[in-house]
Amino acid sequence: MTDRAAFAAETRGFQAEVKQLLHLMIHSLYSNREIFLRELVSNASDACDKLRFEALDKADLFENDSALKIRIGFDKGSRTITISDNGIGMNRDEAVAHLGTIAKSGTKEFFSRLSGDKQKDANLIGQFGVGFYSAFIVADKVTVLSRRAGEPAEAGVKWECSMAGDEAGEYTVEPYAKALRGTDIILQLREGEDDLLSGWKLRSIIRKYSDHIVQPILMQKEEWDQEKAENVLQDEEETINQANALWTRAKNDISDDDYKAFYKHVSHDFEDPIAWSHAKVEGRHEYTQLLYIPKRAPFDLWDRNPRHGLKLYVRRVFIMDDAEKLLPHYLRFVRGVVDSADLPLNVSREILQESKDVDTIRGGCAKKVLNLLEDLAENRQEDYAGFWREFGRVLKEGLGEDHANKDKIAGLLRFASTHTDTADESVSLKDYIGRMKEGQEKIYYVTAESFNAAKNSPHLEVFRKKGIEVLLLSDRIDEWAVGYLTEFDGKQIVSVAKGDLDLGKLEDEAEKKKVEEQAEEFKPLLEKIKTSLGERVKEVRVTHRLTDSPACLVVDEQDMGANLARLLKAAGQDVPTSAPILEINPEHPVVSRLKSEEAKFDDWAAVLFDQALLAEGGTLDDPATFIKRMNQLMLDMRQ
């Protein structure tokens, strides 16, 4: 040992978010206090995995001891619980970086979403992942002794933090010579937590949450001492978990609770998953997949860099977390494990990028997830509705991203519709087709900026009259998604606001004839309106799509929909503007009135156009003039 310390002892302040997290955790997670052990064991296990991975090409790191294990002990006298591992360990800088700050992306946004409501915040924190700091739920002082594998004993560090009540602002780091590599975490229990100082209690918590941990978890054996009338610790140790990789076990040997506990380990989630799929895939590439659908969206789902992907193992050796190549982006909410039998152990993220084997695995995983969702949609509709609320918008991204599975994804979509008239998205394309009217050949939808705007769109009038269902799309992503969704099950999917309304067999001959006659009859009026509105419209024509409104706007088949154009403009994009087509309702009294108007014709025509624009969610170029005209016309009517 050198006589000079490797670094100076110091007291440091926590990052503000850590303080907030500590405070919240103690208050809102107390009823789940047992999770502290799950989190610390999970970290110990991760540390062992990391060492095994680094030692693949640096066997020295094992320091002649490659039997990785986790130990849990307790001492009634000092009222402490100690969790030890001989994993990768930490040096001073790592302890400061990992135990003094939260490095997750999106942390700031996450904290800004906390409400102060215990129950809600507890759920949110669950999604965020509580980790190391959960130790403070049961301990008021936490001491971490650690030494990184491959570094000398003197490079060890002692990290310590005491809490007075539930406030902690600072921690200390100082040199600590540690002969054995790895980490000891010593918890000084809070008052009232003494029931945890029991071998029986600790064993039961470990079996409940950590049975699946790959490394053996050891505890000292205990024997009943008649004289002392209590259990006495023995020198001998025993393994108290199954200590094999859960996904390698036979399915019938794994209980639902085992699967759920393992999910919490891989996902850091707090709640049970909604569904999972476990399969061994044989063939050209052999791999095992264990995939989970979470119940709730993770806090970073819409982040620029969301946590994404699966844990990758190669022949049971942990390789990396968040292997994003193993799943398409739109399935970024899925958690789980892939264990490949064929990839090389030294596989890196770069190699994964290029690997054809990985493409096969990704394809296989995507199919599995979609099958799982299909099964959920079919057999557990309520759970599927919950899934859709949380992840529907993400799934829609798949229409553009995953061409091979487009039909499967389309089948999983859910929509609001005129048939249900609620904003709930519950109608599938299959439901829709099942209730199509006789003679109906197409699937109809309308897009708008809000559910109410969609529901009350004048374009729906004739559909309502004929009882034809229309899907109501009001999510921003819908505009983009329907661009990829042109067909389902042989049926064309079309907008009710685009092109000539062709209801095909839904119209009888008499109706068609009437429209033709009206077109003839109104020709002079149409031309007059066109002349009056000039460049603002591409064409003016009569329509039979309206029953209650005097006019509406439509765009040509090949032109961009008005709602999409508005969205793109709002996003700052240059969009080619093409004038809309004004369609008028020949049966409407306002239109009849227009026929005989002379002096104020231009005002009437302008109001007709402007109200059609407003009705479909557009904004007026010159609202003041519109209002002036309206008022004038109202006054005129009194005369």
Which residues make up the interface to ligand ADP (CB under 6 A)? Answer: 39, 43-44, 46-47, 85, 87-90, 98-99, 129, 131-132, 183, 268
Q: Is 198 annotated as a binding residue?
A: no
| Binding of residue 126 to Mg ion (CB under 5 A) | no
**Cβ 566 to Mg ion shortest distance, Å:** 45
Stretch that binds Mg ion, among 2-10, 36-44, 82-90, 488-496 (CB under 5 A): 36-44
* Distance (Å) of CA 535 to CA 529, 577, 582, 606, 632: 11, 12, 12, 12, 24
- How many Å apart are CA 376 and CA 598, to the nearest integer? 63
- How many Å apart are CA 605 and CA 591, to the nearest integer? 10
**Cβ 129 to Mg ion shortest distance, Å:** 7
Q: Is 105 annotated as a binding residue?
A: yes
Q: Give the DSSP per-residue string, 259-291.
A: HHHHHHHHH--SSPPSEEEEEEE-SSS-EEEEE
CA 620 to chain centre: 37
- How many Å apart are CA 337 and CA 318, to the nearest integer? 10
| Binding of residue 43 to Mg ion (CB under 5 A) | yes
Nearer to ligand ADP, 129 or 580 (CB): 129
Stretch that binds Mg ion, among 40-48, 111-119, 222-230, 401-409 (CB under 5 A): 40-48
| Binding of residue 131 to Mg ion (CB under 5 A) | yes
**Cβ 92 to ligand ADP shortest distance, Å:** 13
90: partner contacted, choices ligand ADP, Mg ion, none (Cβ within 5-8 A by kind): ligand ADP
- The amino acid present at 339, given as its one-letter code, is D
Going 524 to 526 to 532 to 538, the CA torsion angle's sign is negative
Nearer to Mg ion, 90 or 481 (CB): 90
* Distance (Å) of CA 64 to CA 58, 177, 181: 12, 19, 11
**Cβ 268 to ligand ADP shortest distance, Å:** 6
Angle between helix 256-267 and 199-209 (nearest 10): 90
User: Which among 452, 395, 400 has a CA at the least distance from the CA of 428?
Assistant: 395
Q: Are 583 and 545 in contact (CB under 8 A)?
A: yes
466: partner contacted, choices Mg ion, ligand ADP, none (Cβ within 5-8 A by kind): none
**Cβ 42 to Mg ion shortest distance, Å:** 5
- The amino acid present at 614, given as its one-letter code, is L
**Cβ 14 to Mg ion shortest distance, Å:** 17
98: partner contacted, choices ligand ADP, Mg ion, none (Cβ within 5-8 A by kind): ligand ADP
Stretch that binds Mg ion, among 125-133, 460-468, 570-578, 593-601 (CB under 5 A): 125-133
Residue position matching structure tokens 């004739």? 462
**Cβ 85 to ligand ADP shortest distance, Å:** 5
* Distance (Å) of CA 447 to CA 230, 493, 494, 554: 72, 13, 11, 12
- The amino acid present at 449, given as its one-letter code, is E
273: partner contacted, choices ligand ADP, Mg ion, none (Cβ within 5-8 A by kind): none
**Cβ 546 to ligand ADP shortest distance, Å:** 58
Supply the DSSP symbol for 551.
E
Q: Are 470 and 463 in contact (CB under 8 A)?
A: yes
3 state SS of 310 = strand
Q: Is 131 annotated as a binding residue?
A: yes
47: partner contacted, choices Mg ion, ligand ADP, none (Cβ within 5-8 A by kind): ligand ADP
Nearer to ligand ADP, 88 or 320 (CB): 88
User: Which among 485, 458, 453, 467 has a CA at the least distance from the CA of 418?
Assistant: 467
**Cβ 352 to ligand ADP shortest distance, Å:** 21
Q: Is 583 annotated as a binding residue?
A: no
Nearer to Mg ion, 43 or 405 (CB): 43
Nearer to ligand ADP, 90 or 605 (CB): 90
Q: Give the DSSP per-residue string, 392-458.
A: HHHHHHHHHH-GGGHHHHHHH--BEETTT-SSS--B-HHHHHHTPPTT--EEEEEE-SSHHHHHT-G
Nearer to ligand ADP, 63 or 587 (CB): 63
Q: Is 39 annotated as a binding residue?
A: yes
Q: Are 81 and 202 in contact (CB under 8 A)?
A: yes
Stretch that binds Mg ion, among 37-45, 321-329, 528-536, 617-625 (CB under 5 A): 37-45
Supply the DSSP symbol for 88.
S
Q: Is 349 annotated as a binding residue?
A: yes
Nearer to ligand ADP, 39 or 610 (CB): 39
**Cβ 87 to ligand ADP shortest distance, Å:** 5
Nearer to Mg ion, 131 or 336 (CB): 131
Nearer to ligand ADP, 322 or 383 (CB): 322
User: Which among 538, 543, 574, 531 has a CA at the least distance from the CA of 558?
Assistant: 538
Nearer to ligand ADP, 16 or 575 (CB): 16
Q: Which residues bind Mg ion (CB under 5 A)?
A: 43, 131
Binding site, annotated residues for ATP: 39, 43, 85, 90, 104-106, 127-132, 183, 349
Binding site, annotated residues: 39, 43, 85, 90, 104-106, 127-132, 183, 349
